[in-house]
């Protein structure tokens, strides 16, 4: 979550998430990342199936959407 908080409204690739969280070269376990993103959404979102904050950017990664005042 810290990585998202420091990179608000920026797309974070799955590769970067894997490297920053697990500290290893990305080897393609998309399911591991998806499970963790789902658990974060369940804690943050009113409806995790229709996220408003942690968004999937198809083919690129994820981003924390923060509305700017």
Query: What is the pLDDT at residue 1?
Result: 85
pTM of model > 0.85: no
Q: pLDDT tens digit string along 36-61?
A: 999 999 999 999 999 999 999 999 99
Query: What is the pLDDT at residue 61?
Result: 94
Distance from the Cα of residue 24 to its chain's centroid? 17
Query: What is the pLDDT at residue 68?
Result: 77
Residue 28 reports pLDDT greater than 70:
no
| Full set of structural domains in the chain with CATH | 2-64 (1.10.10.10)
- Across the chain, mean pLDDT equals 89
């Amino acid at each position: 979550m810290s990585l998202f908080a420091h990179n608000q409204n920026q797309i974070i690739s799955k590769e970067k998430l894997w490297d920053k969280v697990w500290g290893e070269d990305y080897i393609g376990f998309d399911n591991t990342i998806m499970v963790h993103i789902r658990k974060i959404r369940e804690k943050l979102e009113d409806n995790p199936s229709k996220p408003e904050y942690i968004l999937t950017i198809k083919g690129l990664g994820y981003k924390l959407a923060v509305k700017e005042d």
